[in-house]
Amino acid sequence: MIQFFGRSYDREDLIAGVLFILPAALIFLIFLVIPIVFAVAISFTDWNGISPPSEANGVGLANYEALLTQPGIRQSDFFKALKNTVYYVIGVVPTQTALALLLAVIVNQRWLKAKGFFRTAFYFPSITSSVVISLIFMWLFTRGGLINYLIGRIFPGYNPVNWLDDPTGLIHNILGLLGVTLRSAPDWVRTKVLGLTIWDWISGPSTTMISIMLLNIWTTSGTMMVIFLAALQDIPRHLYEAAYVDGATGWRAFWSITLPMLRPTIFFVVTIGMIGCFQVFDQIFVISSGGPAKTTLTIAWMVYRNGFMNSDMGLAAATAFVLFIIIFSLTLLQRRLIGERMQI
Amino acid sequence: MFGNRNFVVAVVLIVALALAVLPTAAQEGEAVELTLMGWSSSSAENDRLQQMIDDFNSEYEGQIHVTLNLVPEYDTTLQTALAGGEPPDVFYVDSFRLPDYVEAGALMPGEDLIEEPDDFYPSLRQAFTYDGVFYCPPKDFSTLALFYNVDMFEEAGLEPPQTWDEMRAAAEALTDEDAGVYGLVLSADFARWIAFLYAAGGSVTDEDFTEMTINSPEALEALEFYTGLYLDGFAATPSELDSGWNGEAFGKGLAAMAVEGNWMVPFLADNFPDVNYGVVELPEGPAGRATMAFTVCYAVPAEAAHPDESWTLVNWLTGPEGMAQWVSLGLAMPTRQSLRDQWLEQFPELEPFLNGAEYAHKWQFIPGFQDVLDTVNDNIQRIFAGTQTPEDALAEIEEVGNEVLERYQAERAEE
């Protein structure tokens, strides 16, 4: 018998066990743990990403200060990226979750014909390359594209929106309709908070960002739908039967049985949705490169830009680490909120 | 669980597998193996380069053997190779990225190794000179010029513009908003506006990158002229014309003029062969003519494994003969002045681009300047959107730029 991590094992069992997990453990170690430790170490240096990392100088917390506390372009860009990313998350996560749930409930109906077709069709975007989808969306959303054409058919006299090149924010536009512009707004909106004026903070997602949000909602809801579908089919039938015996309507059963039973799944879907949204990169890379007017500058795009276009891998690593902390804390918070009474 | 023999067999198999995936050292022949890394461009250009490499290989049979490696996502691949200490023996460096690589100590100075350096256009040699050291010979280059639609100009009875005033007048005359045709397609892009900035007599920074000089009356004039064309409705952005870039909008006949480089010539020939267009040098601004030179060189890494052979290759490719072969497709322009006349005989219609080399400015700043470029683009885009004024834009660019320059100077002082 051998002692291992406080438990005793038969010697051969132990060797066999370790050998079994070795491939996965090695991959995990080499491609995940070591790079993460390396990235954290880099974030405390001024490494330019070109010369060997051993030549980089330690700069202590300077990269974090540049991002978070020291007024300047790096701080204002970081908070601009954070603002854009947060609007993106707020727009995408609830919408895609609700849409995925709706789709899952529909394709779970027993009266539905051609279930296989609908399930495949809804899931299809998820298995298509995001670059290809982005290119197709660029095509649909150009000024003279299909989207504007359809809107124009429904609302004659519609002045085509230039979806992919319009930096005006949603909330700014709504305020504009109400007659509030930067010129007519009170002076306090020009106060700078963390590198951005209050007016900039409340811009809302730009029109271009909204197009990218629609794209992402469309792509990911399929994956989420499959997860919901699996969970829906796990709910025991007898719960519904008991409810109908007690006179519950379908609507009531949905609110009182389906949703509570789906709680762990909703937590899961919201969490992976949120993580994915905070890391949005490929669509930005293909469609807008952070423009127009920095309104699609997201944190992940900023990491790439600083690391590979601006010779500042240290700052890029620090940005990535701050992003990790944001995602990690939000996940914990969410576990508190949604997951309270749930057991995983 | 398993007997000892099985265990031994398993270990042997794992070791054998591990050995199988290890690279085996090739020991065939005595030729020095070199890798040339670059990015892929049009297939015609890729084929021509491969053909040149084949010629080189047969000329140096038994001595040097070169493999051409054209990669997508070039910058990230090169950066990783350099940081990993295994750089390719020769690679492309864009003049814009040169300062980053030099400051990182990644390039071997070519000062005394480059053949006939004085034959290169001074503006292009300058583009690969940093702190007074010439690093790598330019392989080819592009400049900006004005494309105009001959049919539209003839119909309106106009001559191609030679000055800013004529350009604005032509743009106004050729705009027909109801037909969706604009005088000019104009992107909200620093890399285009900067040519106008220089033509107005303005500049971005001082010579030594100690402070920004962009907040000047000249720059304001250039910015007001450029954005004015758009704000007054004589120009539209490519996206407003349903196009990915200036060349596409021009090719579709939705704009009568476009400020672009010679890369647009093969694009139009391939995609819009029916467009009847002409090219003139960029119109003269208040301070004369100016354009931008975009150029790429063949560089050898500082830690080259075979420096002599690498420079042999570079000099062969950029020497008078190699250069003549490389530019004979008309897709790239010769960086050697001695080839000018011969080349123009073959491609007279491209003269405006080649003339630009005489007065072109380099598209190059310092490491970390991307923050400033993004800020300029951001501001031009906001002026186009009507939420920024040219005056405030220049003040903002100056502030951000000075912050970046100050940091750069502080880092240099430390070294």
**Who among B368, B382, B400 is closest to A310 (CB)?**
B368
**Who among B241, B367, B387 is closest to A311 (CB)?**
B367
The answer for residues whose C-beta is within 8 angstroms of residue B156's C-beta and 6 or more apart is: B170, B173, B174
Cβ separation B103–A48 shorter than 8 A: yes
- Measure CA B319 to chain center: 21
Cβ separation A16–B2 shorter than 8 A: yes
Shared domain check, B176 and B277: yes
Shared domain check, B267 and B189: yes
Cβ separation A50–B104 shorter than 8 A: yes
Does residue A50 belong to the interface with chain B, where contact is any CB pair within 8 Å? Answer: yes
Q: Cβ contacts (< 8 Å) between B76 and chain A: which residues?
A: 308
Cβ separation A293–B381 shorter than 8 A: yes
Shared domain check, B377 and B234: yes
Report yes or no on B24 lying in a domain. no
Q: CB neighbours (10 Å) of residue B208? A: 8
Q: Cβ contacts (< 8 Å) between B186 and chain A: which residues?
A: none
Q: Which helix (H) or strand (E) holds B50?
A: helix B43-59
Shared domain check, B158 and B208: yes
Shared domain check, B297 and B218: no
Q: Cβ contacts (< 8 Å) between A164 and chain B: which residues?
A: 239
Backbone angles phi, psi at B107, to 5 degrees: -110, 145
Does residue A208 surpass a pLDDT of 90? yes
| Residue B41: exposure state from Cβ atoms within 10 A (0-12, 13-18, ≥19) | middle
Q: What percent of chain A has pLDDT over 90?
A: 55
Helices B43-59/B307-318 angle, 10° precision:
120
Burial B59-85 (b: 16+ CB within 10 A, else e): ebeeebbbebebbeebbebbbebbbee
- What was the ipTM of the complex prediction? 0.85
Q: Which residue of B has its CA nearest to A148?
A: B242
Q: Which residues partner with A169 through β-bridges?
A: A206
Please identify which residue in the block is written with the tokens 């506390």. Answer: A69
CA-CA distance, B307 to B281, in Å (whole number)? 40
Shared domain check, B266 and B194: yes
CA-CA distance, B305 to B86, in Å (whole number)? 9
Report yes or no on B48 lying in a domain. yes
Residue range(s) defining the domain that contains residue B251: 143-292+372-414
Most B-contacting residue of A2, A311, A313 (CB-CB within 10 A), to test interface? A311
CATH code: domain of residue B82:
3.40.190.10
Q: Which of B231, B281, B247 has its CA nearest to residue B381? A: B231
Shared domain check, B40 and B110: yes
Shared domain check, B318 and B287: no
DSSP string covering A20-41: HHHHHHHHHIIIIIHHHHHHHH
Q: Which of B360, B180, B255 has its CA nearest to residue B246? A: B255
Cβ separation B375–A310 shorter than 8 A: no
Strand-strand pairing, B255-261 and B138-149: antiparallel
Q: Which residue of B has its CA nearest to A16?
A: B1
Shared domain check, B298 and B346: yes
Q: Give me the residue spans of the domains in chain A.
A: 2-64, 66-169+204-339
Does residue A200 belong to the interface with chain B, where contact is any CB pair within 8 Å? Answer: no
Cβ separation A165–B239 shorter than 8 A: yes
**Who among B84, B105, B370 is closest to A305 (CB)?**
B370
Instruction: Give the mean model confidence (pLDDT) for residues A176-194.
Output: 85
Shared domain check, B151 and B238: yes
Q: Cβ contacts (< 8 Å) between A49 and chain B: which residues?
A: 79, 83
| Lookup: tokens for A145 | 């594209």
The answer for residues whose C-beta is within 8 angstroms of residue B291's C-beta and 6 or more apart is: B143, B144, B145, B195, B281, B282, B356, B359, B360, B361
Cβ separation B106–A291 shorter than 8 A: no
Q: Which residue of A has its CA nearest to B99?
A: A311
CA-CA distance, B233 to B266, in Å (whole number)? 29
Query: What 3-state class would DSSP assign to B21?
Result: helix
CA-CA distance, B134 to A124, in Å (whole number)? 54
Report yes or no on B125 lying in a domain. yes
Q: Which residue of A has its CA nearest to B82?
A: A50
Per-residue pLDDT of chain B (415 residues; tens, 9 = 90+): 445 566 566 666 566 555 555 544 444 557 899 999 999 888 888 999 999 999 999 999 999 999 999 998 898 999 999 998 899 999 999 999 999 999 999 999 998 899 999 999 999 999 999 989 999 999 999 999 999 999 999 999 999 999 999 999 999 999 998 888 999 999 999 999 999 999 999 999 999 999 999 999 999 999 999 999 999 999 999 999 989 899 999 999 999 999 999 999 989 999 999 999 999 999 999 999 999 999 999 999 998 999 999 999 999 999 998 999 999 888 889 999 999 999 999 999 999 999 999 999 999 999 889 999 999 999 999 999 988 999 999 999 999 999 999 999 998 888 7
Q: Which residue of A has its CA nearest to B374?
A: A294
DSSP string covering B200-237: TT--SB-TTSSSB--SSHHHHHHHHHHHHHHHTTSEE-
Report yes or no on B121 lying in a domain. yes
- Residues on chain B bordering chain A, Cβ-to-Cβ distance under 8 angstroms: 1-2, 75-76, 79, 82-85, 100-101, 103-106, 188, 237, 239-242, 367-368, 370-371, 374-375, 377-378, 381-382, 385, 387, 400, 403-404, 411
Cβ separation A167–B385 shorter than 8 A: yes
Q: Which of B95, B399, B243 has its CA nearest to residue A139? A: B243
Whole-number Cα distances in Å, A164 to A135, A287, B271: 12, 8, 23
Shared domain check, B137 and B72: yes
pLDDT of residue A9: 81
Whole-number Cα distances in Å, A177 to A172, A174, A180, A186: 9, 5, 7, 17
Most B-contacting residue of A38, A50, A73 (CB-CB within 10 A), to test interface? A50
Q: Which of A315, A130, A144, A305 has its CA nearest to residue B378? A: A305
Does residue A213 belong to the interface with chain B, where contact is any CB pair within 8 Å? Answer: no
Cβ separation B104–A16 shorter than 8 A: no
Q: CB neighbours (10 Å) of residue A237? A: 8
Q: Which helix (H) or strand (E) holds A146?
A: helix A146-154
CA-CA distance, A278 to A87, in Å (whole number)? 10
Tally of domains in chain B: 2
CA-CA distance, B340 to B335, in Å (whole number)? 9
Report yes or no on B60 lying in a domain. yes
CB-based contact A85:A213 (threshold 8 Å): no
Distance from CA of A108 to the nearest CA of B (A): 41
CATH superfamily, region A66-169+204-339: MetI-like (1.10.3720.10)
Instruction: Give the mean model confidence (pLDDT) for residues A179-202.
Output: 86
pLDDT of residue A251: 86
**Who among A12, A144, A291 is closest to B242 (CB)?**
A144
Helices A313-339/A73-107 angle, 10° precision:
40
Cβ separation B239–A142 shorter than 8 A: yes
Cβ separation B106–A51 shorter than 8 A: yes
Cβ separation A167–B367 shorter than 8 A: no
Q: Which residue of A has its CA nearest to B380?
A: A293
Report yes or no on B21 lying in a domain. no
DSSP string covering B82-107: HHTT---SEEEEETTTHHHHHHTT-B
What's the pLDDT band for A187 if we cut at 50, 70, 90?
confident
pLDDT of residue B7: 58
Q: Cβ contacts (< 8 Å) between A309 and chain B: which residues?
A: 75, 370
Shared domain check, B97 and B236: no
Q: Which helix (H) or strand (E) holds B69?
A: strand B64-71
CB-based contact A219:A130 (threshold 8 Å): yes
